[in-house]
């Protein structure tokens, strides 16, 4: 039976919750979750990999069990989130590691890779985008907010924070929705319902444009350093399209791309298959 420890690290006064498993002597693997989830999304994956890797999966600032300070105390931008996670990796002794990125975890992890290319041993991207062609029309309401950050355009995005929208993210494109545990989207909706969480998430919707602006820098990192790269992609993702997965091969010709017959939260239905792909890739 895999032992998973649940800990918190003080990162300059910022409490970051994280899950840890595996022996410290094993190769290191950092797991970075996305919107609107937490490290809970890795609950099935961690036991499948802990015999091979020292795994740490933090909750990003403002998500899950990590601190969610008021917006006048902490600006919710992806640069700031990456800053905290960068310091977190120092705190937990992750000086050289493979990184698994998903959704919001991708622009966070890619920022770390650009800053510290010598630390990254490999990248696994599960529906974690870095190319314009990977963005679907589902981003259009958010793009409108980027172009005109008006109160009306911000208000229009609140529908994406409703409980039904979270459930849809988990189940869209899944052949059998009965395979999707309600625990994941139920917990996400609990966190989204906390006072102030909606404004935090709306801030991040607005700041996502900074990630798109950094796509050329991410791609330059891929071309220059060519890290071992595995894309594991739910091919029915309504936000990040399969061409975004294929595009990694343009900059990293040896990148491995695997598609799975599922949606955005691929681990909910294909954790075993994705774990097998990771074990083979990092063998």
pLDDT profile of the chain (283 residues), mean per 10: 95 96 97 98 98 98 98 97 98 98 98 98 98 97 96 97 98 95 97 98 98 98 98 98 98 98 98 98 93
Residue 163 backbone dihedrals phi, psi, to 5 degrees:
-55, -40
Residue 232 confidence (pLDDT): 98
Q: Which of 33, 54, 264, 270 is catalytic?
A: 264
Which residue, 28, 44, 56, is CA-closest to 276? 44
* Contact indicator for 258, 230 with CB cutoff of 8 Å: yes
pLDDT recorded at residue 111: 98
Q: φ and ψ at 75, to 5 degrees?
A: -80, 120
Q: Is the dihedral of CA 245, 188, 210, 151 positive or negative?
A: positive
- Residue 125 β-bridge partners: 101, 231
pLDDT at 39: 98
Torsion of the alpha carbons at 250, 252, 254 and 257, rounded to the nearest 10: -70
The predicted model scores a pTM of 0.98
Confidence (pLDDT) at 165: 98
Residue 1: what pLDDT? 79
> Other C-beta atoms within 10 Å of 183: how many?
11
Q: What is the pLDDT of residue 283?
A: 87
Tokens 């309600």, located at residue? 182
Catalytic site residue 264?
yes
d(CA 90, CA 249): 30
Give the whole-angstrom CA distance, residue 12 versus residue 9. 9
pLDDT at 130: 98
The pLDDT of residue 190: 98
28 membership: H or E segment, kind and range: strand 28-32
């Amino acid at each position: 039976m895999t032992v998973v420890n649940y800990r918190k690290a003080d990162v300059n006064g910022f409490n970051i919750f994280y899950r840890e498993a595996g022996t410290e002597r094993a190769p290191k693997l950092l797991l970075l979750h996305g919107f609107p989830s937490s490290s809970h999304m890795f609950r099935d994956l961690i036991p499948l990999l802990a015999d091979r890797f020292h795994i740490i999966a933090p909750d990003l600032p403002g998500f899950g069990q990590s601190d969610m300070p008021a917006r006048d105390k902490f600006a919710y931008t992806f640069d700031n989130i990456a800053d905290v996670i960068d310091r977190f990796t120092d705190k937990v002794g992750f000086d050289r590691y493979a990184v698994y990125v998903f959704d919001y975890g991708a622009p966070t992890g890619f920022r770390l890779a650009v800053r510290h290319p010598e630390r990254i041993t490999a990248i696994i991207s599960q529906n974690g985008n870095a190319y314009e062609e990977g963005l679907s029309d589902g981003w259009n309401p958010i793009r409108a907010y980027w172009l005109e950050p008006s109160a009306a355009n911000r208000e229009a995005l609140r529908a994406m924070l409703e409980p039904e929208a979270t459930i849809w993210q988990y189940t869209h494109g899944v052949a059998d929705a009965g395979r999707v545990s309600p625990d994941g989207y139920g917990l996400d909706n609990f966190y989204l319902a906390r006072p102030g969480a909606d404004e935090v998430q709306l801030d991040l919707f607005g700041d996502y444009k900074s990630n798109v602006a950094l796509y050329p820098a991410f791609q330059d990192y891929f071309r220059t350093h060519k890290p071992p790269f595995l894309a594991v992609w739910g091919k029915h993702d309504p936000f990040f399209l399969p061409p975004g997965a294929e595009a990694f091969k343009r900059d990293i010709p040896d990148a491995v791309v695997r598609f799975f017959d599922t949606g955005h939260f691929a681990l909910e239905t294909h954790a075993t298959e994705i774990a097998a792909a990771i074990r083979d890739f990092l063998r």
